Homo-oligomer: A and B are copies of this chain.
Amino acid sequence: MSNAYFSPDPTQQKVAADLYATVHDLPLICPHGHVDPRLFASADYKFGSPVELLIIPDHYIFRMMYSQGIPLESLGIPRQDSGAVERDHRKIWQTVCDHWYLMRGTPTYLWLRDELRDVFGITQKLNSANAQAIYDAIEAQLQLPEFQPRRLFERFNIEVLATTDAATDTLAHHQAIRTSGWSGRIIPTFRPDAVVNVDMVGWRQNIEKLAEVSGIVVTNYPTYIQALEQRRAFFKSMGATATDHAAMTAYTEVLSAAEADVIFQRALAGTASADDARRFTGHMLIEMARMSSDDGLVMQLHIGSFRNHNPLIMERFGRDMGADIPISSEFTRNLKPLLDRFGNHPALKVVLFNLDETTYSRELAPLAGHYPILRLGPPWWFFDSLNGMRRFFDEVVETAGVYNTAGFNDDTRAYPSIPARHALWRRAAADWLAGMLVRDLIDTDDAYEMIRALAYDLAKATYNL
């Protein structure tokens, strides 16, 4: 087995390899991510071209190309105005390979390298010269029956995979998976952002859709809450064990039902202010915590992204186009109203994710090392990387221990990269534990239990899987 990602120190490396060997074959627990359930809805689903699979959905790749002056149009990213973009996927692939050196040192470089090697058997490094031959090799394999998503699910040894679904989703694909008789466990996650954040484009229409799918006429705050509870129950009946919430800040505030309704009515009338939106989201986070304390769905909070920072990109290409930039975050004061209400609840679990690493040791670890409801999600987004993981471990565990963390989740829409991502986490965890062991901070028995917890047990336990 390779020693990739391990310390070069021979003593530590040997320990890391031994630890990793014990978790290498454990099934993958994928409690949070963005894989499209459509992939599994039919036994006949086929992936598109290599570019459709690997480039167009991957904002990690095209944002880096864009940062060096390569137009998104030349990478085939569809324009909102249906303007012309490159349609020749071989040409797009060539452009990416010509500039692949830009990705050196990034996790994306490693994920794609390891994915091409382990899933497609391609061991060459992408470059201008081999671009077309590698395209051929990927394209050919994507036609094979063993590259059908359900077959890959089995080959990847995934035990459970959670998707992320709008509160208004009918979960038709999930329904199709269930009735198909296929045994792969694909479960939905309840994500109500689009009906909670009243300043989101389309919120009014989303409320109409919420009413439609829930069968509840939503005219005010009480019916709105009712409809949300109806959807949560439906998601739970479809296998969901968790919800997911994104907010720019961790601000929470208790509003009275009357205050909440005033803002809700303003939002329906299209007159809600930015401050209304902020307060309503802050209130709804507490309200969602209340619902989770009732129905047992684990509550995930993703905090700290300034979405769609570049107006030109937003206008031309829409959301999620690599122009989301983190901001500094605060939890100690912002979460207090939520914690005052539910921080000591015996049945609630809230998993925190965030993009400001300074909060790890200063706020998140002390909070999670005290409040029974809190768990810390693995390093997120830009920090789902070797250095990000090392910093997370080094800054969190001394105060919160490992048992207040939530293990790993891959959080990806790039389905075939899932094994590479879990392997990177497992190797990083093994190397970190090896570093502890060789410094006599833990003993061998501890290390073996901890690697299993980090690689498998904690994710499963945190999400009640």
Contacts and interface: CB of A to CB of B under 8 A. Distances in A.
Interface of A: 2-9, 11-12, 63-64, 66-69, 101-107, 110, 125, 306, 309-313, 322-328, 330, 332-333, 336, 339-340, 343-344, 346, 355-358, 361-363, 365-372, 374, 382-383, 385-388, 394-395, 397-404, 435-436, 438-443, 445-446, 449-450
20 contacts: A8-B435, A8-B439, A63-B370, A66-B372, A68-B403, A102-B401, A102-B403, A104-B442, A105-B397, A105-B436, A310-B344, A310-B370, A323-B370, A325-B363, A327-B333, A327-B363, A361-B382, A386-B398, A386-B439, A386-B441
Contacts of A11: 8
Nearest to A304: B362
A325 B67 contact: no
Nearest to A310: B343
Given A371-B67, A374-B67, A101 B362 contact: no
A458 to B, nearest CB: 12
A177 B12 CA distance: 50
A220 B440 CA distance: 57
A362 B326 contact: yes
A327 B330 CA distance: 8
A309 B336 CA distance: 8
Contacts of A103: 401
A450 B233 CA distance: 54
A115 to B, nearest CB: 15
A328 B398 contact: no
Contacts of A332: 306, 309, 325-327
A336 B308 CA distance: 11
Contacts of A441: 4-5, 105, 110, 386
A156 to B, nearest CB: 22
A382 B402 contact: no
Contacts of A343: 310, 312
B362 A67 contact: no
B5 A370 contact: no
- Among the interface residues A69, A324, A361, A365, which one has the most CB atoms of the partner chain B within 10 A? A361
Contacts of A401: 64, 67, 102-106
